[in-house]
Amino acid sequence: MSTPHNQAANGEIAKVVLMPGDPLRAKYIAETFLEDPTMFNTVRNMYGYTGTYKGTRISVMGSGMGMPSIGIYSYELFSHYDVECIIRIGSAGAYTEELHLFDLVLASEAWSESTFALAQSGDDETLQKPSARVNAAIKEAAASLQKPLTEACIHSSDVFYYEANVDGHREFYAKHGCVCVEMESFALFHNAKVLGKHAACLLTISDSLVTHEETTAKQRENSFTNMMEVALEAALKLA
Ligand SMILES: O=P(O)(O)O[C@H]1O[C@H](CO)[C@@H](O)[C@H]1O
Ligand SMILES: O=c1cc[nH]c(=O)[nH]1
C-alpha cells in the first residue's frame, strides 16, 4: 500500500536503500550501476528505484533537502516498507582545510542544533549516532576498493545560507568538532534509533567553507562515483 509521499507497493523496495538528497543522483545511480532498475516512486519527483547490483537487490531513492524531508521519507521506508538499513550518500561543505573537493567523509556521529529529535520523540540528545555495523561495512568496502575516507563528527544543519553576523563554520568546528556540514543525517539517525533500524551517512566534499572551492550542480548529481561505489559495495554486505 502507498503513503502520501511514496506510491510503491509493499515488496517493491529492497531491505537496503541508498539515499542521496538529490533525486537525480538517485536516477543516475540506478541507471549507471543497477541492473534492470524499476522505478517505484515518482510522487513529488522524489525518484526511487529498485534493481540488482552484483546479483543483490538494492534500492536507491532521493530524500530531498533538510531534516523534515528525510524525516518523512526515512520514517516511511523504515516503518511502512520494512526497510532495514538506509545509507545516506550526500554532499557536504568542508569546515577544515584538511578536507578537499571529492574527499569522502563517513559520519561517526551527527551533531545538530536542530529540534527534530526533541519534536519527534522527546529526545534531547544533540548528537545522533549511525549504526556501528553499517559504518563497519562502509569502512570495509572503502578499504577493499582502496578509496580513502575520513571518519569524523559532522554537522547536520537546518541552514544552508548564513548571514555574515553568524560565525558559523569556525564555531561548529572549534566547539563541536564537526569537520563538514550537511543537512539530513541527524534526523535519519534519530529515526533509525526510534524504529530499531540501521542508518549511516557517507559524504563527498562538494565545497569548502574555508577555501570557497566548489563543485557544480551537475557534478553533485553525477560525479561522486567513489561514494556511490563504496555505498553499493557496503550494501552487498548488509543486504
Ligand atoms: O547533496 P545532498 O545529498 O542533497 O546533501 C547536501 O546538499 C543539500 C544542500 O545543497 C543538502 O541536502 C545537503 O545535505
Ligand atoms: O549542507 C551543505 C551541503 C553541501 N555544502 C554545504 O555548504 N552545505
Q: What is the CATH number of the domain that holds 218?
A: 3.40.50.1580
Residue 51 has pLDDT above 80, yes or no: yes
- Give yes or no for residue 160 CB within 6 A of ligand 2: yes
- Give yes or no for residue 160 CB within 6 A of ligand 1: yes
List pLDDT tens digits, range 84-131.
999 999 999 999 999 999 999 999 999 999 999 999 999 999 999 999
Domain membership of residue 199 (yes or no) is: yes
Which of 65, 89, 181 most suits a substitution to test ligand 2, by most atoms within 8 Å of the C-beta? 181
Question: Burial, 218: exposed, middle or buried (Cβ in 10 Å; 0-12, 13-18, 19+)?
Answer: exposed
Domain membership of residue 8 (yes or no) is: no
Interior CA angle at 106 toward 121 and 147, to 5°?
A: 155
Q: Please report the pLDDT score of residue 26 as a whole number.
A: 98
Question: Ligand 2: distance of its center to the CA of 215 in Å?
Answer: 11
Query: Kind of pairing, strands 104-111 and 198-208?
Result: antiparallel
Q: Which three cell numbers stand for residue 176?
A: 563541536
124 is catalytic: no
List pLDDT tens digits, range 165-204.
887 788 899 999 999 999 999 999 999 999 999 999 999 9
Which of 91, 156, 188, 216 most suits a substitution to test ligand 1, by most atoms within 8 Å of the C-beta? 91
Domain membership of residue 7 (yes or no) is: no
Q: How confident is residue 220, by pLDDT bands cut at 50, 70 and 90?
A: very high
Distance CA 16, CA 137 (A): 13
Which of 183, 204, 222 most suits a substitution to test ligand 1, by most atoms within 8 Å of the C-beta? 183
- Give yes or no for residue 92 CB within 6 A of ligand 2: yes
List the domain range (segments joined by +) for residue 177: 16-238
pTM of this prediction exceeds 0.90: yes
Q: Please report the pLDDT score of residue 161 as a whole number.
A: 94
User: Whose CA is closest to 114, among 157, 174, 68?
Assistant: 157
- Give yes or no for residue 183 CB within 6 A of ligand 2: yes
- Give yes or no for residue 220 CB within 6 A of ligand 1: yes
Domain membership of residue 40 (yes or no) is: yes
Domain membership of residue 71 (yes or no) is: yes
Helix (H, G, I), strand (E, B) or coil at 151: strand
ipTM: 0.98
Task: Give how many domains the chain has, as a whole number.
Answer: 1
Average pLDDT over residues 132-160: 98
Domain membership of residue 25 (yes or no) is: yes
Domain membership of residue 10 (yes or no) is: no
- Give yes or no for residue 50 CB within 6 A of ligand 2: no
Domain membership of residue 112 (yes or no) is: yes
Ligand closest to Cα of 209 equals 2
Grid-cell match 553525477, residue found:
222
H-helix or E-strand spanning residue 186:
helix 185-195
